[in-house]
Amino acid sequence: MQIVFAPTVPANAPILAVPVAKDGVAKINWSAIGGDVEAVATSAATAARFAGEAGSVIELFVPVDGAVRQVLLVGVGAGEIADWEKAGGAITARLLTSGATSVVADLSAGATPTAKAAAHFAAAAAQRAWRYDTYRTKLAEKSKPTLTEITIAGAPDGTDAAWTEAAAVTEGLDLTRWLVTSPPNVVYPESFVEKVTKDVEGLGLEITVLDEAQMTELGMGSLLGVSQGSRREARILALKWNGAGADAPTLAFVGKGVTFDSGGISIKPGAGMEDMKWDMGGAGAVAGAMKALASRKAKANVVGVMGLVENMPDGAALRPSDVITSMSGQTIEVLNTDAEGRLVLCDCVTWVQQAHKPTTIVDLATLTGAMIVALGTENGGIFANDDALADQLIAAGKTTGDTLWRFPLSPAYDKLIDSPIADMKNVGPRGAGSITAAQFIKRFVDEGVKWAHLDIAGMVWSDKPGTNHDKGATGYGVRLLDQFVADNFEG
């Protein structure tokens, strides 16, 4: 989707979108639309019970100079940034496959946004247009997207700078959604690395790739244990952005990248197993966030680490009751090979601490089904060893709409993963499954390092459209991490 900014409405704009505040129909500058349309348009809005609620849309055809003009009235509610995002996404959702190729949003005819709100309005419109039609060879003409351009007319001063940041996040979301949506025969550890490195080329990121031989030398028996049943070799991909100088504290993002999760020997039920192509949603979010940060030249030092494996059943695969040794030297009794994400994350957490010495680590993972049982698809779960860090992430989630809900950690839960023959087992009892998974990762965090674990199992894929996404990959985590950095790591 191409976003164009213009000082005024271009002549002969085929479709005009006018933002309307809550109960703001009477405040619309109808003369900007052209012709004597106020009576007709107001009556139509009243008949449709349109009151400017955020994201609501009505479509009008009004007489202008002997012709008919198509006008969308788009609600922006109370005018908060989230309301403007709903409006931008609603325009695209309404017109994407309508046959229309372009639309002009006139920000001077109705409600007036701030520069940041205008940029987020445009960004949501662009983000809502993302689709994955690569393998759809018989798509009906009426189902094909036609809308290719949205012109934002009359945006306030300062919108260009705000758009630069919003556009960077949009590009990050595009990468994440592509990774999460692509089938597992297309996205696997090696191809994930190839796609991401190509996509971020020229942005100034320092790229490190570890193959299985290097990981073996480092003693990553936990991560490699997950991978050993697959013919696809594991990889670790690290993207480092130095935007604040060498002396600034380093923040690390760590993402679980299980490109397909069969469950291994503890194989999953067949129903729904196809969803496990997006079990790399945490790594996908880290890749997208790092692209966004580099694209907007964030003034922060951040490293994003993605542990990439495929978990498959095979004669060489991990068996329930095997004991493996992690990079940290701690031993793990594997009781369930489908609790594999934590085995990937623990070695990635150890490696990033040794290689980059971050003061703060945030890991993201589609880790537990128990999290979906607890929170459904409305919030991601957060666990943290530092209250201030948890509050910062929760605040960033509220700002962006990638919301989080905090869960507890305590020694009582930690005891549930003690093993009688090793340092720990990889699963606890049925109860508190998400908490014991977090307690497992916490055992690999060094003393004094601030750490948060985000269990986003219910958030990376959606069965219903949202403000800035259609059904499918949401891109959850990209906006959250970018906002977290902007709020807390940039001066």
Q: Which residues contact 216 (CB under 8 A, 6 or more apart)?
A: 224
Report the half-sphere exposure of 142 (CA within 13 A, side-chain side): 0
- Known active-site residue 443: no
Question: What does 46-61 look like in DSSP terms, one character per residue?
Answer: HHTT----TT-EEEEE
How far apart CA 146 and CA 151 sit, in angstroms, is 15
Question: What does 376-438 look like in DSSP terms, one character per residue?
Answer: TTT-EEEEES-HHHHHHHHHHHHHHS--EEE----HHHHGGG--SSSSEES---STTHHHHHH
How far apart CA 333 and CA 419 sit, in angstroms, is 7
Q: Angle CA(150)–CA(153)–CA(157) in degrees, nearest 5?
A: 120
- Known active-site residue 49: no
Nearest Cα to 296, choosing from 169, 116, 402? 169
How far apart CA 300 and CA 448 sit, in angstroms, is 20
Q: Are 154 and 7 in contact (CB under 8 A)?
A: yes
Of these residues, 22, 131, 195, 268, which one is catalytic? 268
Determine how β-strand 102-106 pairs with β-strand 2-6. unpaired
User: What does the DSSP 8-state code read for residue 443?
Assistant: T
Q: Which two tokens stand for residue 374?
A: 């607890």
Q: Are 160 and 261 in contact (CB under 8 A)?
A: no
Of these residues, 277, 296, 342, 442, which one is catalytic? 342
Q: What is the CA radius of gyration of the chain?
A: 24
User: What does the DSSP 8-state code read for residue 333?
Assistant: E
Q: Which two tokens stand for residue 77?
A: 């509610």
How far apart CA 373 and CA 339 sit, in angstroms, is 16
How far apart CA 474 and CA 457 sit, in angstroms, is 12
Q: Which residues participate in catalysis according to the annotation?
A: 268, 342
